[in-house]
Amino acid sequence: MRKIFLFFILWSTTTAGYISAQENVAFTPKKRVISPEVNDDNTVTFRVFAPQASQVYVVGNWMDKDAAGQAGKAEMQRQDDYWIYRSPKLASDLFLYNIQVDNAIWSDPLNVYQIRDVGNIFNYFVTGGDQSSLYQVADVAHGTIAKRWYNSPTLGMNRRITVYTPPGYEMDKGEYPVLYLLHGMGGDEEAWPSLGRVAQIMDNLLAAGKIKPMLVVMPNGHVSNTAAPGESSKGQYPIDFFTPDVGTGKMEESFADVIGFVETNYRVKKQKAARAIAGLSMGGSHTLFISSYIPNTFDYIGLFSAAFRMNEKAESPVFDQFEKNLVKQRDNGYQLYWIGMGKEDFLYKTGKEYREKLDHIKMPYTYYESEGGHTWSNWRTYLTLFLPQLF
């Protein structure tokens, strides 16, 4: 195992196609090795230099999980000192993967493109096609992503949010509508911009004339943290998927502080018709409770694979009068109540029961059912379907 480790470190730092460190002024170019290589038919070729390995696998999120629920993997085939694997044709999407060498998980040394998801780092690649083209940086006008700190009097702390402003915002004097976009459990204010590709999706849909210019505000839904890991005075702490605040109602109770900061510090329209809120999983739970707790605030509501009540023992005014608040929200009216859910999502039953609740009180909604489960692939798709219906 130690020999494999040394081979990986030596190779990844000195022979990744070219010896290209700045201090190496004179060098002999070598044939460049590419991994992953997205082919014209959306198959993908992976190459790994591991001459002393016994087995090498690609571990990818497009593969079916095994019987124990572990990530699916495909065995690579040895060709001299390299290991090669060519995937089947993949959908038009963004995919995550790692490399397994014998019993160790690695990042692909030839792929510098990485994303953090909760406490794990993955390589990623984007295949071709119409849907995935929305996730790429195109030669179009670009908006701005800013990381801002705001004061939350309700929570008694300063917290960080991510804000997308559309192209031209800094130079004009107009006012814009706002989408408040909430992440899932384990996420933070960096999840939607990175895994969700918000800036790319917004820029590309705006350039195509398919959506209205708007701000997208992405807060941190874990109120026991002030910011994403490593971005606060808490330091480099171990990342927890299930933080103590999950399901307590504190995020919902304090959400007016986020709206107040945005409407004080940005040129935005301050009417219900110019506010939308949407969220995935835990963020979907936050969305349905926030939009009913302050029921005359949002004209557009989006639930992406939404959870419902996440802690039955928690006491909060957000939960106490939920059914009555929901009726008030219905009676006050809204433009869109959009629900997306995958057929294989582990929250499918939860979503069905929630829709039955809405049916019981005759609360109108739009339902979209997709293939797949509780995945970023679905949530990115839901966002691209939701955005054109706003404002």
Q: Digits of tens for pLDDT over the chain (391 positions)?
A: 444 444 444 344 334 443 344 454 444 556 789 999 999 999 999 999 999 999 999 999 999 877 667 778 999 999 999 999 999 999 999 999 999 999 999 999 999 999 999 889 999 999 999 999 999 999 999 999 999 999 999 999 999 999 999 999 999 999 999 999 999 998 999 999 999 999 999 999 999 999 999 999 999 999 999 888 888 888 888 887 778 889 999 999 999 999 999 999 999 999 999 999 999 999 999 999 999 999 899 999 999 999 999 999 999 999 999 999 999 999 999 999 999 999 999 999 999 999 999 999 999 999 999 999 999 999 999 999 999 999 9
Decide which of 127, 153, 171 is a domain's last residue: 127
**Is the same domain home to 365 and 217?**
yes
Q: Name the amino acid, one letter, at 247.
A: G
Quickly tell me which residue has 């702390």 as its tokens: 157
Question: Could you tell me if 188 and 246 are in contact, meaning their C-beta atoms sit under 8 angstroms apart?
Answer: no
> What is the tally of structural domains in the chain?
2
3-class secondary-structure state, position 85 = strand
Q: Which amino acid is at 351?
A: G
Residues 209 and 347 occupy one common structural domain: yes
**What does each C-alpha distance from 183 to 108, 275, 283 come to in angstroms?**
27, 18, 5
Report the interhelical angle of 322-332 vs 282-293 (nearest 10°). Answer: 70
| Residue span of the structural domain in which 186 resides | 144-389
- Read off the amino acid at residue 174: G
Coil, strand or helix at 167: coil
Going by C-alpha positions, the residue among 257, 286, 275, 261 that lies closest to residue 148 is 261
Burial class (CB in 10 A: 0-12, 13-18, 19+), 207: middle
Q: What pLDDT score was predicted for residue 30?
A: 62
Please report whether residue 71 resides in a domain. Answer: yes
- CATH of residue 47's domain is 2.60.40.10
Q: Is residue 139 part of a domain?
A: no
Same-domain check for residues 254 and 346? yes
Encoding tokens for residue 278? 């949407």
Phi-psi region of 41 (alpha: psi -120 to 50; beta: other; left: phi over 0): alpha
Look at residues 84, 195, 180, 201 and name the one whose alpha carbon lies nearest to residue 136: 201
Which of 62, 92, 127 is the endpoint of a domain?
127
**What is the C-alpha separation between 8 and 84, in angstroms, rounded?**
16
Question: Are both 381 and 263 inside the same structural domain?
Answer: yes
Q: Are residues 300 and 169 in the same domain?
A: yes
Q: Are residues 46 and 191 in the same domain?
A: no
Residues 170 and 107 in one domain: no
Q: Which residues in 263-287 are b (16+ Cβ under 10 Å) and which e?
A: eeebebbeebebbbbbbbbbbbbbb
The predicted pLDDT at position 10 comes to 38
Q: How far apart are CA 33 and CA 49, in angstroms?
A: 10
Question: Which H or E run includes 49?
Answer: strand 44-49
Same domain? For 67 and 100 the reply is yes
Instruction: Kindly state whether residues 161 and 289 are assigned to the same domain.
Output: yes
What local confidence, expressed as pLDDT, does residue 295 receive? Answer: 84
Q: Is residue 134 part of a domain?
A: no
CATH of the domain at 188: 3.40.50.1820
Predicted model pTM: 0.91
